[in-house]
């Protein structure tokens, strides 16, 4: 059983929280906004994955969630800190894995030329919510790159950009009932 003090530290009661290296910042710091959006994205993807346990794309979504942990860690750790070298970083290879999954899905999915009204199925609706959260997370990361100079997050931003596309295609694929096997290992 987890002890109360391990979960409830009271460290944030004054409106501050810690980065991975222990550095304290205000809870409304743009870094925490970005980390929160990435965490929310992973949770929403988890909801979608839970809607279709054992589905052919569950491994894909689980791999994405694992990669999002790395995205969050990269946001939460200053590049100058020695801990930064110990965390997994997002690379072009991660982006390419998403592109390959996207191409595989597109081969079995019709994408129309009009705006999509989310809600064709419960699962596709959850995937569309995940896509929307992903776009917000990407905007936050773009802000960190532009406003705070965190250029080390460029691959994470590209990953989030591709992920929103993949979630859109997957939602359409689910609505059409043509989901094919895909995996994105991490």
Residue 45: give the domain boundaries: 24-91+115-176
Is 19 contained in some domain? no
148-152, 153-157, 174-178: which range is least confident on average? 174-178
How would residue 181 be classed by pLDDT, with cut points 50, 70 and 90? very low
Residue (of 159, 138, 130, 149) closest to 33 by Cα position:
138
- Alpha carbon dihedral 49, 54, 60, 61, in 10-degree steps, equals 10
Cα–Cα–Cα angle for 161, 151, 92, rounded to 5 degrees: 50
| Alpha helices for 77-153 (secondary structure H) | 92-106, 122-148
Residues of the chain with pLDDT > 90, as a percent, come to 75
Average pLDDT over residues 94-109: 96
pLDDT of residue 14: 81
> Residue 170 and residue 166: Cα distance in Å, rounded?
6
15, pLDDT greater than 50: yes
Residue (of 103, 119, 100, 99) closest to 111 by Cα position:
103
Is 182 contained in some domain? no
Is 7 contained in some domain? no
Is 15 contained in some domain? no
pLDDT of residue 182: 40
Is 97 contained in some domain? no
> Residue 7 and residue 26: Cα distance in Å, rounded?
19
Is 106 contained in some domain? no
Residue (of 55, 40, 42) closest to 174 by Cα position:
55
pLDDT digits over 23-68, tens only? 899 889 999 999 999 999 999 999 999 999 888 899 999 999 999 9
Q: What is the tally of structural domains in the chain?
A: 1
Name the pTM for this structure: 0.88
pLDDT of residue 179: 56
Task: Centre a 10 Å sphere on the Cβ of residue 140 and count the other Cβ atoms it contains.
Answer: 22
Is 139 contained in some domain? yes
Residue 125 sits in a domain whose CATH number is 1.20.1200.10
Name the DSSP class of 13. T
Average pLDDT over residues 149-177: 97
Is 9 contained in some domain? no
Between 186 and 109, name the one with better pLDDT: 109
pLDDT of residue 183: 36
């Amino acid at each position: 059983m987890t002890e109360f003090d391990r979960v409830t530290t009271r460290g944030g009661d004054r409106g501050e929280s810690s980065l991975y290296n222990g550095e304290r910042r205000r809870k409304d710091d743009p870094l925490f906004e970005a980390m929160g959006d990435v965490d929310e994205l992973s949770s929403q993807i988890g909801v979608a994955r839970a809607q279709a346990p054992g589905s052919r794309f569950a491994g894909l979504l689980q791999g994405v969630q694992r990669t999002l942990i790395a995205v969050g860690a990269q946001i939460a750790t200053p590049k100058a800190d020695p801990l930064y070298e110990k965390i997994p970083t997002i690379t072009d290879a991660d982006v390419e894995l998403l592109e390959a999954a996207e191409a595989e899905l597109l081969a079995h999915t019709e994408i129309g030329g009009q705006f999509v009204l989310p809600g064709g199925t419960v699962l596709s609706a959850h995937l569309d919510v995940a896509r929307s959260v992903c776009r917000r997370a990407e905007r936050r990361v773009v802000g960190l790159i532009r406003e705070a100079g965190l250029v080390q997050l460029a691959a994470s931003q590209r990953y989030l950009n591709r992920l929103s596309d993949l979630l859109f295609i997957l939602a359409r694929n689910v609505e059409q009932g043509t989901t094919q096997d895909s995996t994105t290992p991490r």
